[in-house]
Chain A
């Protein structure tokens, strides 16, 4: 499997929280030949199980959903209003092409913007809220079929920038790709623990997909794979860099013993890693998975990513490959 093609393919599919079906179907197709069995749970999470040679139950999680929009109101003249699914900065949505999933198929739209010639001081001095933002549907044959409740995503195709990949939903399709690649590596590396690859739903809104599975599977350990802010200065924090390998999280939501085993595994096998402190909640599925059932020993592995939750998220495919290697090696931990 070519890592770049895999990430691009996953990024191109649309799957805002609760509507992950197309993404999960592709993942299922890719991972099924690599594992013992696959199934979905009640809340739309996909699980792929690979039995180990020893004992213990390890869940490896990546959320399959992405941030997006939902149509909340229709206006005269084929215009629609949106609200967000997950956290989106309104500053990144102007003059974007969007796709709206209607009952009759995909309608095309454009997020409108006033031209500079018609802007006044009031328009320039503050960022419009989503109440002010509108989608022009007049450029679509299906525009008249758009209804309140239809799901909307930005219409962008991934591009390559000097070997890095740029597009929407790299958060967390990059993570999903690393799980698929890890499953592939398990053809050569025998896993000691039983491994459950979990592609969870609705991380961007509540994280319920991951929590439900952690509970059902009675896991001993979990590795959550998500993305983290790369190549940007965050006051008081070490700067995580793209291209330097995955970031291992340290903090209260991380199990110290499992972390140190994972760290040593990385060291022994020359896996390139970075360390990222999370003094409280991590903002990922890890936070709740740790609290599932009688408690799960959790770690968090994050792929560095630039411009999170924008249509131009950037990941370095080498980081995705390095993450896959770390995950495959982690299954041998006793």
Chain B
């Protein structure tokens, strides 16, 4: 009873775009934080709005800054229109594997990114890097030459540039029409996260998929974020409980992230889709293409862009 009324009054809104209550890893990350905080009994209640049921996916960053929501599991690149530096968190070839991603989190590169996040008034509660894959209806995509003449739909601007640099033509289609587009032939290749490859049932349309393996090109930073203003409004015990819960959520993600890739491989193999991975040499060839396309544009258009990429590439 001593917790008092002011503590009871704190209710936070957490929003994300992923399906709720169906075991999606990113939904689970947010749910874990909500559950743990509730169990800590510090008078903090987190309401989760999954599936973009409150704020549209792309608007979440802005919504958090304005105080419309407090917490979000958010693909950081979505805010690259506001902070071009974030483009580096969906940049081909910067992250090679989940182990590499873990090392990257503490690197100067990520410190630089997190500084931009913090300067914008946001703090990172839990880190999360999701791996992605390339898929094609034609032949397997291993070398840049393999995409010559393909019509590719890409999840992000930086990848689109690399595809185009390797000789593919780019089609821009909303994510919910990708299945259709692949089926009718509007597009015949695509890249996205391994989770989306499964949830959009792309194994029904593709003939070959390039899984992340040890030489992945596709990684995206999708951390759980919180508005600094909302965080500072909490009491000390509430802040501590929240940070502790976030730690748990991050650990959960670390143990699950690779399983997402395995799930994709399993689903695709079950549907007789060929699953391949890139060799060191093949991935390096792609990085060469990226150097001339996405890296180059990024260095030109973003202040410090070249430095950011070099910092990321230097992480072993």
- Are A and B subunits of one complex? no
Residues of B within 8 A of A (CB): none
Residues of A within 8 A of B (CB): none
